[in-house]
Chains A and B, each alone.
Chain A
Amino acid sequence: MSNGIHIQTQGLSKNFGPVVALKDLNLVVRKGSVFGYLGPNGAGKTTTVRILSGLLKPTAGNATVCGYNVHTERNAIKSVTGLLPESPGLYSKLSAVEFLEFIGALNNLSGESLHRRIDSLLGILGLEGRQNDLLESYSSGMKQKVLVASTVLHEPALVFLDEPTSRLDPAASVLVKEIILAMAKETDTTFFICTHMTDFAEDVCEVIGILNQGILTTLGAPNEIIEQMGGRDLEDAYLKIVGGEIDRETLLSWRQ
């Protein structure tokens, strides 16, 4: 259905009135790969994810996701993809199990197999003792874990993760990283990850794209990007690409 390619975009653009959120994006993401999408706040990462997951219509250009067209086959795209949004939109008065049942039902899953999957995921994520507590009592990290579970619950072929580890402690971040790597390797699931965490991206992603002001400025493997920019690591290379290096004198100038 997708010839080994899960995402292919041609001149994909999105404007919100006069604001250009995404400009002329040309990108290919292979099946079973882990793609990292980096960029400063407001660069257009979330907009890209929303277009590719069938939530927003592009202003111009075209894209296929798992072989489905973003203009005409949005429901088909939704059925084969999973999306972890940037901030948690959980139902505070439901328990983790009830919320995951709800997400399962929205994806036409039900019955014993769904419950086994929910129990298993909550166990892996270390939430088994709290699974019947209402989500209002969860910490932000625990909520993020529930969202991660809800994203992979229906075994999507392609998973979009928008800042998956931003609220997680180091141990939970490692856990999520391992889940991503295991699913990519063992089940050929493709991951499209938006993140600010360059060390996370460097560890997990095979290919990285850096977006700045709606334009994809850099694309390649992490070590290639580091080498190309002459940086010490990906963070250094990233700062060289998007700017943001400030000298100490400037940083202390406010005290005068």
Chain B
Amino acid sequence: MGRVWWAIAKAEFLVRTSKLHRSRKILYPLVIGLALAFGIFLIPTILGYFFSRAGAVFEIMLATSFPGLLRTIMMVLWMFILIVPISNSLENVKIGQWEILFSNNVKTRDLLFGTFVGRIPVYGIIVIALGPIAVSPFVYAYNVSIIGQLLMYLVIFLFAIVTIWLSTVFSTAIHAKIGSSPRGDDIGKALSWALAPLVAIPAMGSMYWMNSIVSLLNLNVSMILPSTWSADILTWIAMYTGSLRPSSILNLELYWFAVSPIVDMVLLGIFSILVLVLGFKSADRLFAYGASPGSQKVARAGPEGFFIRGVRKVFGRSFGTIVVTSFKDFTRKLQNIAKVSYGLFLGILVPLLIGFGPFATIVDDPVFVPVMTSLMIGMMLGIFSGFIFGGVGLLDSRDQLWILKSTPRGVPKFIVARVLSYMIVGIPYALIPAIFSGILLSFPLADILIVCGFVYSIVLGGIFVGVGITSINPSYEDTSSGAFVINQISTIVVMIICLIVSIIPGVLIAIRQGLFGYAMIISSIPTPIIGLVILMIGMIRLNVMEVA
């Protein structure tokens, strides 16, 4: 392969660490140092402190149950290392760079291997920081020797390397499949959002339904996952290099393991070799980047349905056209649909957590449950709506802003129409989780309606705040810009302040007077009002703003 892959790896590393820019030589070792300090000193110290405070009974419980828990931890870590690089790379589908590389006679294997090597120093930081979460409890409970610890870190390192390779192969394949086109870019961004729940589900599961998942995983289902094989190898190493009594080892073996460590090692070895070999073998096919028919398909605008015609009529001919155009522009982007779906997913999780999670024991309280449900769904959807409807969705480019500005009162007309179209999208976004929670938790019809009203008002507030802040400081489509980051942070801060201001009087009424409806009505007023003020400021600022 020569040294070509090294040049590609270097370029990949520079791109991935571009935020460190000129201070890379100082900041990167510093980040590595911090990750090492976090992993080697901080995590063991914190865990050790809590374990020692928990007492001997907990220590015995930890020693017996950690092998099962480790399977879940390794699964979450595996998914994390697998999916985050794919999700990040899908945010920016840029296979145009491949043309430059191939025109310089670069072989496909060099490209794949170089990309993989360039990613290791970046995603390796996650492994350095999080690996000790898997090792430290064993060190504490089984008193694992130094050699044992080193062996465990070696297994984690090798497993992480294979996973990073796998994610590189996957993301390359997906890039090549969806191709470099506006549609491909949209599909990539949508997929990057769709991947997030895949990480969130096991994460939430490990937090709230640990017992059921672990018991489920203890069935043979988990044995098909490479993360389980590596978790079991870690357990085996810990057991045999620690200071456990032979009887305890025997008990653990009987309780947790259906297969011998040799089988786990063979399975993980075969998996790793297969992934590496198949990745290299398939390199030529993966990089055959003749974009797929999916991304190059010519989409056509169909005839307008009853709903769109209705919107046109309601808002009048000219203004109705702007509202309808805005609605079509938003809903035709797959990434927007993926974001709205993700918000819905989070909203629907709330009643599930309340009904079956840690709040399940007080589920009968007639005021607490509806109040808590409304507040949590409102907070979740409200903050998220700021991201969905503000952020990158408002204006695609500076040139779009010029087009709007070149028409009389174009900016105010556009922003009002945009917000109205978002308010339409916000209806199902707010009502589906609200109605779902009402049905799942058996609220009376009146309470369901109140929850719907409250959640929608908070979502409206989120829309106003998101659009307002983005209008004050447009970030266009650039998610890596400083403006985008500042807007996102500002949206969160403003929404949290709005929600606190909104919720406190409502909660006080609910506690003192026990009136759910009144409490929710009071709570639903401040957020949209504050949001409207920010929206007005944003609209005025965007209208008078001079963009060079």
Question: CB within 8 Å of B: which residues of A?
Answer: 16, 47, 50, 53-57, 75-76, 78-79, 81-83, 85-95, 97-99, 101-111, 132-134, 136-137, 150
Contacts and interface: CB of A to CB of B under 8 A. Distances in A.
A245 B48 CA distance: 74
Interface in B316-342: 317-319, 321-322, 325, 328-329, 332-333
Nearest to B397: A89
B300 A134 contact: yes
Contact of B325 (A50, A89, A101, A108): A101
B301 A97 contact: yes
B409 interface: yes
A89 B403 contact: yes
Contacts of A56: 546
B299 interface: yes
Contacts, number: 117
Interface in B374-420: 396-410, 413-414
Given A55-B405, A78-B410, A137-B183, A98 B548 contact: no
Nearest to A104: B321
A129 B321 CA distance: 23
A92 B301 contact: no
30 contacts: A55-B402, A55-B406, A57-B546, A78-B406, A78-B408, A78-B410, A79-B407, A85-B403, A89-B396, A89-B401, A91-B400, A92-B186, A93-B328, A93-B332, A94-B301, A94-B325, A98-B328, A103-B407, A105-B325, A106-B322, A106-B414, A109-B318, A110-B317, A110-B318, A110-B321, A111-B317, A133-B299, A133-B301, A136-B181, A136-B183
Contact of B318 (A89, A97, A105): A105
B298 interface: yes
Interface in B131-146: none
A90 B400 CA distance: 6
B182 interface: yes
B403 A103 contact: yes
Interface string B186-205: 10000000000000000000
B336 to A, nearest CB: 9
Given A55-B406, A89-B396, 8 more contacts: A16-B548, A78-B405, A78-B406, A85-B406, A103-B407, A105-B319, A132-B300, A134-B300
Nearest to A87: B399
B407 A107 contact: yes
Interface in B292-311: 296, 298-301
B402 A85 contact: yes
Contacts of A50: 402
Nearest to B298: A137
Q: Is the interface of B mostly helix, strand, loop or mixed?
A: helix
Contact of A93 (B318, B333, B413): B333
Contact of A102 (B321, B396, B546): B321
Contacts of B404: 106
A73 to B, nearest CB: 11
Given A106-B410, A136-B182, A92 B321 contact: no
Given A93-B328, A98-B325, A136 B299 contact: yes
Nearest to B323: A105
Q: Which 6 A-B pairs have the closest CB atoms?
A: A89-B399, A110-B317, A93-B332, A105-B321, A136-B182, A89-B400
Interface of B: 181-183, 186, 296, 298-301, 317-319, 321-322, 325, 328-329, 332-333, 396-410, 413-414, 546, 548
A93 B319 CA distance: 19
A197 to B, nearest CB: 20
Contact of A88 (B399, B407, B410): B399
Contacts of B301: 94-95, 97-98, 132-134
A136 B181 CA distance: 8
Given A102-B322, A105-B319, A134 B409 contact: no
Contacts of A104: 318, 321
A76 to B, nearest CB: 8
Contacts of B318: 104-105, 108-110
Contacts of B407: 78-79, 103, 106-107
Nearest to A56: B546
A122 to B, nearest CB: 13
A102 B407 CA distance: 11
Contacts of B319: 105
Contacts of A95: 300-301
Nearest to B548: A16
Nearest to A55: B405
For B182, B322, B406, which residue has the most chain A Cβ atoms within 10 angstroms?
B406
A132 B399 CA distance: 22
A102 B301 CA distance: 14
A103 B413 CA distance: 12
Given A56-B546, A106-B410, A134 B332 contact: yes
Contacts of A134: 298-301, 332
Contacts of B300: 95, 132-134
Nearest to B411: A106
Contacts of A47: 548
Contacts of B183: 136-137
Contacts of B405: 55, 78
Contacts of A92: 182, 186, 396
Given A56-B546, A78-B407, A134-B332, A101 B401 contact: no
Nearest to B299: A134
A89 B328 contact: no
B131 to A, nearest CB: 43
A17 to B, nearest CB: 9
A82 to B, nearest CB: 8
A85 B408 contact: no
Contact of B299 (A83, A87, A101, A137): A137
Given A78-B408, A108-B318, A134-B300, A85 B546 contact: no
Nearest to B544: A57
B393 to A, nearest CB: 11
A91 B325 contact: yes
Nearest to A137: B298
Nearest to A160: B406
A146 B299 CA distance: 17
B329 A94 contact: yes
Contacts of A132: 300-301
A99 B332 CA distance: 14
B451 to A, nearest CB: 33
B420 to A, nearest CB: 13
A108 B35 CA distance: 59
A101 B329 CA distance: 13
Nearest to A97: B301
B337 to A, nearest CB: 11
A235 B296 CA distance: 40
Contacts of B396: 89, 91-92
